[in-house]
Structure 1
Amino acid sequence: MLLRQELRAVLVTAALTLRACAAEGAETCPTLFADGRRPALTNPKLAAETLPLCFEAYAVLHSGRARAPLYAAERLTRAGVASARQVERVDAFHDEDRVPAEQRARLDDYVRSGFDRGHLAPAGDMPSGAAQAQSFSLANVVPQDRVFNRSLWAAIEESTRRLATRRGLLFVVTGPVFEGGSLAAINGRVLVPTQLFKAIYDPVAGEAGAYLAPNRADGDWRAVSLDVLRGIAGLDVFPGLPPSVTAAAMSLPEPRAYSSDDHAARRPRTHEQGWQDWLGRELARALRRAFRDVLRAIF
């Protein structure tokens, strides 16, 4: 009897230790950041009610004030992009239950809002089905103009993937810019970005820069240095880089060379026709949520 009690105590202690380690890893996830360092907020107004979250292939800093992420960080490799191109896309947007209920976006916030649920870390970057499912968390989503999201922004995402394929390794930080004293909010809850950026750092070449584009249908993009981006976004995306890297914007590929039609033709995607397809998507979503709940119950 005593042996059983001692064994049970050991198992409980091991479980608690494993849970603590998992929680610690979820807070830090250093492999997703250049030199293991998280982006640093330089605008103190952004710091309130923030929560760092880690996923399999990306990390975010979530804002309870904006009810949206302030950034998503990724480590893109040639092999990872190749794997991602083989993953069939299944849309499964879901609330992020690690964020307090009053601080997170809900699926109904986007209903009839006129905006897309725009990924920061793209589903097309995710190297596995599980990672892709995690990318549909609303903690990784901001309201995006529909035309912009499906055209120029999709092309910027594809341009970044192709650059990662050519160079082998990139660190990428994507985020919103909230400018002005009176920001729009969908459903009176989720702030709408005025611009979006995708910052890129090539640690081998020692180059960095960022795409910056307005969140509207008729906008254009421009390349900016990390110093310029810091002043606009209030975020030091790659802390610790030398001034010689942050002061000049690297040469970024023209994203319009990669049309959304070309991207869709190369990436398999489920068809949205018929009740069978709808049922399949809903079952896949339910299974993913159940699997996530089981993992959280264990850890």
Structure 2
Amino acid sequence: MLASHGTAKARDCSALFAEGRRPEIINVKLDQRLVPLCYDAFAVLHSGVARTPLYAAERLTREGVSAARGIDRIDAFHDEDALPPDDRALLEDYVRSGFDRGHMAPAGDMPTEAAQAQSFSLANVVPQDRAVNRGLWAAIEESVRRLSTRRGTLFVVTGPVYSGGSVRAINGRVLVPTQLFKALYDPATGEAGAYLVPNADDASWRAVSLDVLRQETGLDVFPTLPAAAKATAMALPEPRVYSRGPADGDGSPHRRRPDADSFEAWAKQELHRALRRLWRDLMRAIF
């Protein structure tokens, strides 16, 4: 177990799933060497074949997103000791791989420091194209957070897709997804749908129904939903790169300034956060 990073525990994770039901595996080829893991704010089904999650499930709420915005991000990727040694990804697998360690349950969704630390487990990570991870995918994650703030509660299931005759592997161990998905369900309206994104530079996204997602992934991500909800994709927000600040007075979110201004603002923000972390660590060392 990962005492220093927070652990995946044997507990009831049903509140993280729509109507308490886990996603169901339809493609029997995926049903091998699977380990369910339950964390404070998300649940994972880990594949020892891929050495990645098959999915990460969350219940995003307005209150949780608000709490998450007040927590500084501290990167602390770590191996997941709750998994069998031969089935887990290792930090060294990603070294010089050319891929980012892409969260499935995003660190930016985590409402506590403990939950954020848990999100850096490699059991919650896939090899992700850097341009996608830092661009389009980050915009999708933020757009989903803002949608959950407007709607109140969303159930979210995120995961990789492995398709085609030959799937790449980094370090000969960890499979590289061909696509990524993020599925949403609004329990208040009954609407559902999913973003589907190629794991490649210059990727575009498309909105798909849960029926189409099932064909692409071999997963029924929200098995209790009626057929009509699975057949039609809800209107998903266009992914946009936002600042982390609050909305403008008229309710519309701030947009980041492009190019040099954006980089300067980002650099100042990161420097401020680093100084805050140093001050906090110094105070902890003294007291």
Structure 2-normalised TM-score? Answer: 0.84
- What's 2:228 paired with? 244
- What's 2:213 paired with? 229
* In the alignment, structure 1 residue 135 sits paired with structure 2 residue 96: no
- What's 1:163 paired with? 147
Q: What secondary structure, in the 3-state scheme, does the structure 1 residue paired with 2:240 have? A: helix
Whose radius of gyration is greater, 1 or 2? 1
Tell me how many residue pairs correspond in the alignment.
256
In structure 2, C-alpha distance between the alignment counterparts of 1:112 and 1:271, rounded to whole Å: 29
* In the alignment, structure 1 residue 100 sits paired with structure 2 residue 75: no
In structure 2, C-alpha distance between the alignment counterparts of 1:270 and 1:51, rounded to whole Å: 39
Within the candidate set 54, 79, 86, 1:70 is matched to 54
Residue 166 to residue 177, structure 1, CA distance change in 2 (3 Å): same
- What's 1:3 paired with? none
CA contact (8 A) 2:72 2:273 kept: no
Q: CA deviation at 1:23?
A: 5.8
Residue 85 to residue 189, structure 1, CA distance change in 2 (3 Å): same
Residue 257 to residue 96, structure 1, CA distance change in 2 (3 Å): closer
Alignment gaps of 5+ in structure 2: 1-7, 245-254, 257-261
Q: Which amino acid aligns with 1:182?
A: S
Within the candidate set 157, 165, 188, 2:172 is matched to 188
Q: CA deviation at 1:258?
A: 3.4
Q: What secondary structure, in the 3-state scheme, does the structure 1 residue paired with 2:102 have? A: strand
- What's 1:19 paired with? none
Q: CA deviation at 1:269?
A: 5.1
Tell me which protein shows more helix as a share of its residues. Answer: 1
Q: CA deviation at 1:240?
A: 1.3
In structure 2, C-alpha distance between the alignment counterparts of 1:272 and 1:145, rounded to whole Å: 26
Runs of 4+ in 1 over 4 A off after TM superposition: 268-274
1:133-169 CA distance string (max 9 Å, x none):
0000000000000011000000000000000000000
In structure 2, C-alpha distance between the alignment counterparts of 1:123 and 1:61, rounded to whole Å: 18
In structure 1, C-alpha distance between the alignment counterparts of 2:22 and 2:148, rounded to whole Å: 20
Q: What secondary structure, in the 3-state scheme, does the structure 2 residue paired with 1:256 have? A: coil
Q: Percent identity, aligned pairs only? A: 68
CA contact (8 A) 1:151 1:259 kept: no
- What's 2:195 paired with? 211
Alignment gaps of 5+ in structure 1: 1-21, 285-299
1:101-132 CA distance string (max 9 Å, x none):
11000000000000000000000000010000
CA contact (8 A) 2:197 2:205 kept: yes
Q: What secondary structure, in the 3-state scheme, does the structure 2 residue paired with 1:87 have? A: coil
- What's 2:248 paired with? none
In structure 2, C-alpha distance between the alignment counterparts of 1:257 and 1:48, rounded to whole Å: 37
- What's 2:4 paired with? none
